[in-house]
Each structure stands twice: as C-alpha cells, then as structure tokens.
Amino acid sequence: MSGPGGNGTDREFGDGDEAAAREAVRAAGVELVETGLVDGTWGNISVRLGGDRMVITPSGRDYRSLGAADMVVVELAGGSVTGAGKPSTEAPMHRSLYLARPALGAVVHTHSAAASTVAAARREVPAVLDDFVQVVGPSLRVADYALPGSGRMTRVVVRAMAGRMACLLANHGAVAAGRSLPEALLCARMLEKGCRSFIEAEFLGGAVPLHPVEAWAMHQVFLHKYSRTARGGRK
C-alpha cells in the first residue's frame, strides 16, 4: 500500500494516504461493533499516518454513524489536531504508544467482555493458547489503574506492553496493537479469546501455561515470519 517509511519500517499508511487511513479507521470501528468487541461509543481506534501523525476515532460518537471525514488527524509529538474534530479522550495513550514503539502502525482500545472481567480481577493472563501467544506475546499483563485520558494512563500502558502487542487496563478494558490495522484487529480478537479461555480454564482446575521460553519464541516467529506480509492485509 505504501513504500518504506521512516524508522526503517514499511508503513501501512504514508504521509499521502490520509484519505485511505480515515476510511480504514472508520471501517474498523464498524467491524469492532459488529464483532461485539465494543458497545456503542466505547473504545477507540487509531492508525499511524506517515512519520509523525495518526488518524483516530472522534470522542463519544457511535461508530455506526461515522463517516471517514469524522476521523481526526493528530500530531504525535504535541497532540495538536490538524483540521477539524475532537479526538478520542484516549488520544494521549495512542500517541505515547506510537512514540515509544516505532514499529507499531495501529492501536485498538476495547471494553470487550472477557478482557474486562480479567481486568477487573487484575490477573495477568499467562501463555494459555498457541494463537494467543503468537499474536499477543508471552503473557497479557495488567496495567496499573489510571483514570481514562490521564497522563498516568500513557505511562502505565507503555510499561505493561513492553515486549508484547497488548495489555489489560485495570478495572477498565484492553489495548491491542499491531504493525498494521488488520494485525491490531487480530490482536484484539486474540486477546479476548485468550481471556475467555483463561477464565474457563481456571474453572476447570487451573490454566496450564506454556513454557515461557517457548512462548517468547513463538511470538518472535510470528513477528519475523509475518513481518513482510502483515502490512495492509491479513498475514
């Protein structure tokens, strides 16, 4: 979809791809509602746009009523809005992830059901399933509680996601990321599946995690094997 960008990575959306990025975020919002990962106006989605901006869903609007023009373009460094619109209140969290992790191309925040349950219990999800581990990483940590939209939220999320593509937000929900938007959406689905399996396995006598080294290796294989083909499409 685009050539090599900054930071030595291929970008899904280059500086000139604003229209395509707006449409992709809009369509992803509808997909999240239709797959049951978000309800109404809860949750938010962004993609990196070129080297120093992102396109993010607006604050407090139902995804099914939004057009591509309603998406908001925000500068990563300062947080200023280019053009019109009021970005999601979680825009600072999205910006901090792009600034801290140059390889990330998309970030999805959901309040999906099983993830919210585990977030309420503040339990770290171990390496319960192969597919979960490949996409999310060797475990799903819980970021310390922070008020939505706060500066503290930006810090606890970056810390909890170190070496992983997702984390839970204590008593709140989940954050999933990817090098492309399809990969971030896959990650959001995998973390929800992993949380549901973890809850149910605990009821069956206790989840038995994979060995940490094997879990780490499986995630690395996913990142490297699919590093070329994950851009702008399914792996």
Active site residues: 90
Choices 68-76, 81-89, 165-173, 183-191 (CB under 5 A): range interacting with Zn ion: 165-173
User: Reduced to 3 states, what is the DSSP secondary structure of residue 48?
Assistant: strand
User: Which one, 126 or 173, has the nearer CB to Zn ion?
Assistant: 173
DSSP-assigned letters across all residues of 136-189: H-S-B-EEPP--TT-HHHHHHHHHHTTTSSEEEETTTEEEEEESSHHHHHHHHH
Residue span 31-70 as binding mask against Zn ion, x where in contact by CB under 5 A, dash where not: ----------------------------------------
The secondary element (H helix, E strand) that includes residue 44 is strand 44-49
Closest CB to Zn ion: residue number: 173
User: Which one, 6 or 151, has the nearer CB to Zn ion?
Assistant: 151
CB of residue 202 vs Zn ion: minimum separation in angstroms? Answer: 25
User: Which one, 74 or 230, has the nearer CB to Zn ion?
Assistant: 74
Report angle CA 136, 173, 95 to the nearest 5 degrees: 75
Return the amino acid letter for 136: V
Residue span 169-198 as binding mask against Zn ion, x where in contact by CB under 5 A, dash where not: ----x-------------------------
CB of residue 172 vs Zn ion: minimum separation in angstroms? Answer: 6
Phi, psi of 48 (to 5 degrees): -75, 135
Give 83: exposed, middle or buried? Use CB within 10 Å, 0-12, 13-18, 19+: exposed
Write out the residues near Zn ion by the rule CB under 5 A: 173
